[in-house]
Structure 1
Amino acid sequence: MVTIKDIAKRAGVSFSTVSKALLGNPNIKAVTKERIWEIAREMGYQPNIAARSLVSRKSGAIGIIWPTVERGALSSLITKLNDELERRGYTTLLSISRTDAAIESFNRYRMDAVLLFGDHSGNRDELSGIGSMQSPLLVYGAAGSHPFSTVDVNRGQAIRLAVRHLAELGHSRIAYLGRPDGDDPMQTVKIEAFLDEARKLGLCVSDESILRMEGLETHDGYIAAEAMFGWPSPPTAVISGGVDLTRGIYRAARERGLRVPEDLSVVSYDNIPLMEDLDVSTTAVGVSVHAIASVIAEALHKLIEMSDEQLTIALEPEIVVRSSSTRLQ
């Protein structure tokens, strides 16, 4: 097993310097930290979290309670977030268990901080164990007000950007695909913004313009798009609630011989690199995963250093125009 002493010998520095660098001590120069971490990775060093906790009262580990391993956008975000946290000297531990079970585990391992994704935070029953959390907590994507630190995206503004973009291209019959069964506050915000912005612009939309579906996966998008294409007067443009739904739209369009954007303009929520690699390079709205990951990592670090502080951070979206949307002919 590789030890801190082994790394110190290879790096030509003291045991203390290596220990502080691996713990993210701000008194160690960034270039020195990076070099020590690079050597540690090359040597296959695995930190002993329990031992580290006893010495420093910090584990150097951050727990992440993640709702699902299936969503494309979340997968992209978690990968980038892990990179950002690793760059700051933290190890990440991931749990897809129920929130209360994850909290129990993370308390046992003495996490420096815990990140909870909003897909969990909407379930009040699952939040019952948060009072027992022994580490600073940050929630990403929590709709509404909460008594803990949050980072969130202005989803409503993202959808408004999509509506305006399509209206400027001459589209008036626009559908929104992204209304799952059940109560999902984060999706409700998008739907309300779609209807409000479209009506302000005098577009031909109604509650029927919003397609219902069982979930937010690719198959759900496919089934909803199939229904949409069967309308007497199908829309000339559609706004998708997420990348997985967009995949389903493209599949349904392809099977019907419809071309994007010639026959149907598409704008998708989820500003992730994957949007460039779909069937058609896709116009997207939202906050980039790089920006989200960077802000979350910095917020977690602040909470670790100042555990009594409560943070409320709202990120503003942008639109990235690509090939999937065009002017109505």
Structure 2
Amino acid sequence: MGITIKDIAKIAGVSYSTVSKALNDSPLVKKDTKKKIVKIADELGYEPNFAAQRLVSKQTKIIGLIWPTIERVVLSTLVTKINNKINKTPYSMILSVESTETALDTFRKFQVDGIILFEENSKPSIRQTTIPLISYGVAKERDVEYPIIDANHEQAMYQAVKHLYELGHRDIAYIGDLSSTDPMQAEKYNGFMKAMEQYMLSIEDINMIDTGGLDWYNGYAATKKRFENPTYPTAIVGGSYDISSGIIRGIKEIGLDIPRDVSIISYDNIPQMANTEIPLTCIGVPVERLAEEIVQSIIHCIEEKNITSNVKKMSPILVERASCEKRK
């Protein structure tokens, strides 16, 4: 038979409830007592009986995360940040990269306490669920019954063009995924176009380059193709960190200098952008802040049993680095 909290309580000379509170890091237990109980539990090799805890609390203390892929750097970074923040709470996280419908069925079987959904490509079909659910997605023109964390992609790209305009650039290109089925990419495109029109900048077809994807190679291949034309833009807005990394490599292979010949500003805001071949000027919600908001929101929904369709629009932040300079 395994070690129980009764065994720990007997050795520690405290009540069962004190042991339970200490092992759940309750502030109601004195630090010295808590430290003593945790030490005894570790020495005895105590492992909590999650099944029994679930019967009592009606909770699994597990949050399910539905994610499209962990291959792209930004997404893997955000997943890691979310997991790290969940680990600082009484909850644990399980990750699914299956289709939304399959993942939801799996999480229902696991009886998770809450679900975080990443919406990429078309709007997912979600059957009514009693499990608290929040989405990282786009809130525009949506009819949903769950909260949405919106990173404000449109505003970010508007600010990107504004920044380049203020640096004196007038010939600006966009290299990104122009997919009409991915609402996030559509918002980026809309933001770029609004800013170009606002500042009365010419929108040339040759400067609207569709990468057809969001990976490094998509950005690299699109850049090489665009610069087959000897007339090139003075600045580029990249649709993502991965795409912009490919843009940098493509431009350097052509023999042009960044930022003297071409300035680059990229969507996304992750620490890795300071360590690319040319440190990237970027615009987006910082990944740390985004992860914090997502985790706080799902735990609030779980513990307050508050599943409403509120929208949290976050504010993008511009970080200036070496990939942009004033146009002489």
The answer to whether the Cα contact below 8 Å between 2:234 and 2:263 also exists between their aligned partners in 1 is yes
Deviation of the 1:232 alpha carbon: 3.8
CA separation of 1:21 and 1:251: change in aligned 2, threshold 3 A: farther
Q: Which residue of 2 aligns with 1:328?
A: 327
Secondary structure of the residue aligned to 1:266 is strand
CA spacing shift, 1:108–1:10, aligned 2, 3 Å: farther
Contact 2:178–2:186, Cα closer than 8 Å, also in 1: no
Q: What whole-Å deviation, never above 9, does each CA across 1:273-297 have from its counterpart, x for those lacking one?
A: 0101111111110111111111111
CA displacement at 1:151 relative to structure 2: 0.9
State which drifts further: 250-259 or 240-249: 250-259
* Local SS of the residue matching 1:151: strand
Gaps of 5+ in 1: none
Alignment partners' CA distance in 1, 2:244 and 2:38: 39
Report the residue type matching 2:82 in the other structure.
L
The partner residue of 2:137 within 141, 151, 166 is: 141
State, as a whole percentage, how many aligned pairs show the same letter.
37
- TM-score of the aligned structures, taking structure 2 as reference length: 0.87
Q: In the alignment, which residue of structure 1 is the partner of 2:110? A: 109
String of CA shifts for 1:206-260, please: whole Å, max 9, x gaps: 3442211221111100111112212242111101110110111011112112221
Report the counterpart of residue 295 of structure 2 in structure 1. Answer: 297
Partner of 1:317: 316
Q: Is the 8 A contact 1:23 1:90 kept in 2?
A: no
Q: Displacement, 1:11? A: 8.9
SS of match in other structure, 1:87: coil
Corresponding residue of 1:74? 75
Match of 1:256 among 254, 257, 277: 254
SS class of match (2:321): coil
Aligned residue for 1:102, secondary structure, equals: helix
Structure with the greater alpha carbon radius of gyration:
2
Decide whether aligned partners of structure 1 residues 66 and 51 sit closer, same or farther in structure 2, where only a CA change above 3 A counts. Answer: farther
Residue aligned with 1:250, SS: helix
C-alpha spacing 1:48/1:94, structure 2 compared with 1 (3 Å): farther
Contact map agreement 1:11 1:36 (CA 8 A) in 2: yes
CA distance in 2, matches of 1:279, 1:109: 44
Structure 1 residue 198: Cα displacement: 1.3
Partner of 1:84: 85
Gaps of 5+ in 2: none
Contact 1:283 1:325 in 2 (8 A): yes
> Deviation per CA, 1:116-140, whole angstroms, max 9, x where unpaired?
0011xx434x424x32x34101001
**Would you say the 8 A contact 2:23–2:38 is kept in 1?**
no
Q: Structure 1 residues 313 and 257, CA, compared in 2 at 3 Å: closer, same or farther?
A: same
Residue by residue over 1:51-92, the C-alpha shift from the partner in whole angstroms, topping out at 9 and shown as x without a partner, is 321121111111101110111111111111111111122100
Please give the alpha-carbon distance, in whole angstroms, between the structure 2 residues aligned to 1:173 and 1:284. Answer: 19
> Is the 8 Å Cα contact of residues 114 and 302 (structure 2) preserved in structure 1?
yes
Q: How many residues align?
A: 323
Partners of 2:224 and 2:41 lie apart in 1 by 49
Give the corresponding residue for 2:228. 230
Contact between 1:50 and 1:109, CA under 8 Å: does it hold in 2?
Answer: no
Contact 1:72/1:244 (<8 A) preserved: yes
SS of corresponding position for 1:285 = strand
Contact 2:171 2:234 in 1 (8 A): yes
Q: Determine if contact 1:60/1:90 at 8 Å carries over to the other structure.
A: yes
Give 1:83's aligned amino acid. Answer: N
Change (3 A) 1:78 1:38: farther
Letter in structure 1 aligned against 2:109: R
Residues 67-76 or 134-143, more deviating: 134-143
Q: 1:58 to 1:224 in 2, by over 3 A?
A: same
Q: Do the aligned partners of 2:136 and 2:150 also contact (CA within 8 Å) in 1?
A: yes
| Structure 2 counterpart of 1:186 | 184
1:99 and 1:73 map into 2 onto residues whose CA distance is 20
2:276 and 2:30 map into 1 onto residues whose CA distance is: 38
Tell me by how many angstroms 1:180 deviates. Answer: 4.0
Counterpart pick for 1:307 among 298, 305, 308: 305
Kindly report the root-mean-square deviation, in angstroms, between the aligned alpha carbons of the 2 structures.
3.1
CA contact (8 A) 1:18 1:36 kept: no
Q: TM-score, normalised by structure 1?
A: 0.87
Aligned residue identity for 1:117: F
- The 2-side partners of 1:19 and 1:290 are apart by 32
Matches within 5 A, 1:127-166: 127-128=125-126, 130-131=127-128, 133-144=129-140, 145=142, 146-166=144-164
Q: Within 2, Cα distance between the matches of 1:241 and 1:157?
A: 13
1:52 corresponds to which residue? 53
